[in-house]
Amino acid sequence: MESKLQKYIDDIEEIDTSLLPDLQSRMDNLTKPKGSLGRLEELALHICLIVGRPDPPLKNREVFVMAGDSGVVEEGVSAYPQEVTPQMIHNFLNGGAAINAIAATTGFDINVVDVGVKSDIGADSPSLYKRKVRRGTRNFRKERAMTIEDAMQSIVTGIEMVLERNKERGLDILATGDMGIGNTTPSSAITSVITGSPVKNVTGYGTGIDPNGFVTKVKAIEESIALHKPDPSNALDVLSSVGSLEIGAIAGVILGAAIIKRPVLVDGFVSQAGALIACSLKPEVAAYIIPSHQSFERGSNAIWRHLGLRPYLYLDMRLGEGTGALLMGNLIEASLNVFNNMATFQDAGVSGKR
């Protein structure tokens, strides 16, 4: 498994920036004051560079909602019981969740991938992929969340989901999503270890725990990190000791997007934890990430700062599922319509700046 993961990682290439001068020249000569569309201009150029062409296709959009359960919920870190994870998966498949409503307005197809749900998902749906690595993680306050082999397999599962869907359909834009009761706890643990931030500074209220629950959550994470002493420079050690399967699979989706040279819209806090793992394994993948939004979860800002990325949206969202990431779909479409369909000063016969 190690050699398989390494081969995938070795397939990732740095983005070719040789197109940037020509792209920037066109952007600067459109009928507007230079830079007047702010980060919309930045977004268009970023997408073009990732795909390697000035007119990137936008038709085939898919979100990968990675689902798993975390054993640490035994410690009282979530306001909801673990059976909500499979119940919400059925809700996704039946079209009743927030991700379904937002996907319908932004043109994304939804893939729900069971990489580590504790129970079996009985549904039979073309949108459901049963790729269970194991039945949830262990309680990492007492023992490592999973083996190194499980951690690698979760990442490879995410990569291969992307490669499979790309082979079947040809993907233009990818997005990450998550489902797993209690998964902001491993997300906070990963964030604290890799960014070096104190646990209390990167831990939030997740599903809506009360102040006592917050204290319990922080203590559980601090004691877990002290117990396992994960190496911040070793992403697999961090993921296997205090992580979760769906976070590993999200890291795989991000790596997969880089392999096929497509933009990946990274969602909120849990997805960002996956981005930390992915970028620790291969720093070059950060250039393929479109940072969608600043999650209301406390650790979100620490992750974006660590990765050197600045999110586009500030909506105080903290739902997960991929909801924030999908909102970027139409913004990307608008930015590229500006870039490709606006007239230049010369085309329009408009006088340029003196």
Instruction: Give start and end residues of each alpha helix (H) in 170-268.
Output: 184-195, 211-228, 235-242, 245-259
**Helical (H) or strand (E) element with 4:** helix 2-10
pLDDT of residue 16: 96
Does some domain include residue 149?
yes
Q: Give 7-58 pLDDT, tens digit per residue.
A: 999 999 999 999 999 999 999 999 999 999 999 999 999 999 999 999 999 9
pLDDT of residue 351: 81
> Where residue 208 sits, what CATH number does that domain have?
3.40.50.10210
Q: Give 84-118 pLDDT, tens digit per residue.
A: 999 999 999 999 999 999 999 999 999 999 999 99
Instruction: Give start and end residues of each alpha helix (H) in 94-183.
Output: 98-106, 148-169
pTM: 0.98
Tokens of 272: 């960002």
pLDDT of residue 234: 98
> Residue 288 in 3-state DSSP?
helix
What is the average pLDDT score of the chain? 97
Does some domain include residue 73?
yes
Does some domain include residue 32?
no
CA-only gyration radius of the chain, Å: 20
Does some domain include residue 100?
yes
Q: How confident is the model at residue 348 (pLDDT cuts 50, 70, 90)?
A: confident
Phi, psi (rounded to 5 degrees) for 7? -60, -45
Evaluate if residue 6 carries a pLDDT over 90: yes
pLDDT of residue 292: 98
**Residue 172 domain boundaries:** 61-337
Does some domain include residue 7?
no
pLDDT of residue 347: 87
Evaluate if residue 128 carries a pLDDT over 90: yes
Does some domain include residue 52?
no
Q: In what order do the strands lie in the sheet with 289-291?
A: 128-130, 108-116, 61-68, 173-179, 264-266, 289-291
Task: Quickly count: other Cβ atoms within 10 Å of residue 26's Cβ.
Answer: 16
Q: Give 168-200 pLDDT, tens digit per residue.
A: 999 999 999 999 999 999 999 999 999 999 999
Q: Give 196-248 pLDDT, tens digit per residue.
A: 999 999 999 998 999 999 999 999 999 999 999 999 999 999 999 999 999 99
Does some domain include residue 45?
no
d(CA 91, CA 123): 11
Q: How confident is the model at residue 135 (pLDDT cuts 50, 70, 90)?
A: very high
Q: Number of folded domains in the chain?
A: 1
Percent of the chain whose pLDDT exceeds 90: 95
Evaluate if residue 1 carries a pLDDT over 80: no
Evaluate if residue 350 carries a pLDDT over 90: no
Does some domain include residue 124?
yes
- Crossing angle of helices 328-341 and 98-106, in 10° steps, is 10
pLDDT of residue 280: 98
| Cβ atoms of residues 73 and 82 within 8 Å | yes
Q: Does the annotation mark 321 as catalytic? A: yes
Cα→Cα distances 309→67, 84, 286, 301, 325, Å: 25, 32, 8, 10, 14
d(CA 354, CA 350): 12
Selected catalytic residue, list 41, 246, 297, 321: 321
